[in-house]
Amino acid sequence: MTIQVGDKLPQTTFIKATANGPEAVDSASFFAGRKVALFSVPGAFTPTCSAKHLPSFIDKADAFKAKGVDEIACTAVNDAFVLGAWSKSNAADEKITMLADGNAAFVEAIGLASDSSRFGMGKRGQRFSMLVDDGVVTQLNVEGPGEFKVSSAEHMLDTM
């Protein structure tokens, strides 16, 4: 079943690249007591993700803060090292927290996993964005296959 607005996020563990190496991030603790704009990309360094999705959130980071968002996070079914390198190559380190979902546990738990085997990418997460307030989804924007319309930073801001 796919997560819906009003649902509490399930407990999972993300991995974050840090100066001291990979660090486990408990989802319940990460989202507790604050407002987080979370977006998911099918993969770091892929065309739409690199040219449009990540840049939209980097460019609009201040606008999110002005609307009361405490943190912007990106997740993908990639390892923490890949997301760390992608963040550095896009100068996103100060604006976006990268949360690796390397085993697809999070996207499976929320019903937004996808099969990208035909592209040689295996199991991935669908492209989406959500606003999470104290662990509860208050906005959910899931893209159709191959689309990039409703999960952008601009769309999220316009509908907040």
Residues with catalytic roles: 49
Taking alpha carbons only, the member of 54, 58, 75, 67 closest to residue 126 is 75
Report d(CA 32, CA 145) in Å as an integer: 31
What is the DSSP track for 33-56? TSEEEEEE-S-TT-HHIIIIIHHH
**Burial class of residue 120, CB neighbours in 10 A (0-12, 13-18, 19+):** exposed
Report d(CA 160, CA 125) in Å as an integer: 23
DSSP state, 64? H
